[in-house]
Chain A
Amino acid sequence: MSLRRDVHSAFDQITPSMGGLPERVVQTVLSEGATRRRREKMLFRFRAPLSLVAVLLLIVLVAAVFVGGRIVQDWNALHKSSPAGQSNQSQLAELEARPLQLPVLKAATECNTGPWNSDGTVGSGPLSIYGGLGPRTSWGTYWNNVFYTDQQIAGPIVVRVRDVVNNVNVVFVGKYAAGPVVGTDTLNGTRVQQHAELVLYANNAALVTVNPPSKPHAFVWGFTVGVPNDSTGSTGWQVDGMGFSEVFLSC
């Protein structure tokens, strides 16, 4: 059997009767052709405006994705910058659970500020501190200080301060102040809460350019610390972060 005959036989098996098919097809074309042509013409007429609309929609979509992305980014940054952010809660709890390793001194005269860094700041680890005198109140004295580091530090950083002679609590107010509220005071006419600790995150620091160029960038946190009138002024600072812990004295 030839291939031609096989092919004919194979397809003839499935070919139904075509009685009336040509008439039916032609009739359908003649009855619906005009309608279809009108529809196609209308579509053709609207093709340019529709294309324009499609392009505009595309632009809006791209803009929405861009703006939405920025919003999500900002939202995430805001969310992460919160000291109470859920993602850092366990790390924060771990750092707060670390025991204080501050020295205990018999008298304020035994206190020596340090260790000093070569740039005139104080600190023994990745973070260093410097600052100046702030407002005084009936409760005590406030200092406007700055922590800085030239390292990218992941996770939270917990700072706790005690008087190393009489163990009086030193407090934090304003930005980055966190932990239990231990008191209140009025600063520059504003009622503020005093907190037991300072919590810092790399992504809520200010990024500044510093000298020398070998360390071109630093993360900086400006904060306010309050020393009560009953403190000897001899303060021990413990700074705990993921993978480091540093202690220094400020007298």
Chain B
Amino acid sequence: MQRVADVKPSSASQQVSESTFADLLKPLIEPGFRLALAMLHDAQAAEDAVQEASFTAWRKLGRMRDQGRLRPWFLGVVANKCRNARRKRWVVEVSVGVPEELPAISLEERTLRGTDLRRAISRLSHDDRLVVVLYFYLDMPVDEVATVAGTSVGATRARLYRAIKKLRPDVAIEEALR
């Protein structure tokens, strides 16, 4: 699996042609979709959010001064679309109450654990969920997570620690951050 943090957009001039736009945007669609899916837990809604974010990118890309910051900016747009989409619906997932420690991890058990973790993440606030998904799922460094979330690095780290404590109260922060 390609680490999203490794994907870098190519540089582009202020005026964006269709082919340049396509070149810039295509590498961002997958991380955008994964972010939206992790935030919304709904593939169709995630695709819609990415599509809407792409329209916004198309409209505003030419006005971006630093297109090297395109990825965090685009993911920030996706996160906003997710926030709006989530306001419109109520995501319900059923808890299956799987214990933390299982002696042997079968496929079914892994599925149940995944469901339980997704449910726990979905219960986090939008901002907490965003930093967890960006950091743990999209493997972004904290400073880039902070850019997407629109906060300082310190505030992002504090938010991340709080979220980890909610998800895994028994696990040490350093261990969880690995």
- Give the B-binding residues of A (Cβ under 8 A): 1-4, 6-11, 13-16, 18, 21-23, 25-26, 28-30, 32-33, 36-37, 40
Contacts and interface: CB of A to CB of B under 8 A. Distances in A.
Interface on chain A toward B: helix, strand, loop, or mixed SS? helix
B33 A18 contact: yes
A3 B168 contact: yes
Contact of B34 (A2, A11, A23, A30): A11
Nearest to A36: B55
A30 B117 contact: no
Contacts of A32: 55
Given A2-B178, A3-B167, A15-B37, A30 B111 contact: no
12 contacts: A2-B175, A3-B171, A7-B137, A8-B137, A11-B38, A11-B118, A14-B43, A22-B29, A26-B22, A29-B54, A30-B21, A33-B58
Interface of B: 18, 21-22, 25-27, 29-30, 33-34, 37-38, 41, 43, 47, 50-51, 54-55, 57-59, 105, 110-111, 113-115, 117-118, 121, 132-133, 136-137, 139, 164, 167-168, 171, 175-178
A16 B43 contact: yes
Nearest to B168: A3
Nearest to B118: A10
Contacts of B54: 25-26, 28-29
Contacts, number: 102
B178 A9 contact: no
The 5 A-B pairs at the shortest CB distance, nearest first, are namely A10-B114, A22-B29, A7-B136, A22-B26, A10-B117
Contacts of B105: 1
Interface on chain B toward A: helix, strand, loop, or mixed SS? helix
B114 A4 contact: no
Contacts of B111: 13
B25 A25 contact: yes
A119 B111 CA distance: 96
B175 A11 contact: no
Nearest to A6: B117
A11 to B, nearest CB: 5
Contacts of B18: 30
Contact of B33 (A21, A26, A36): A21
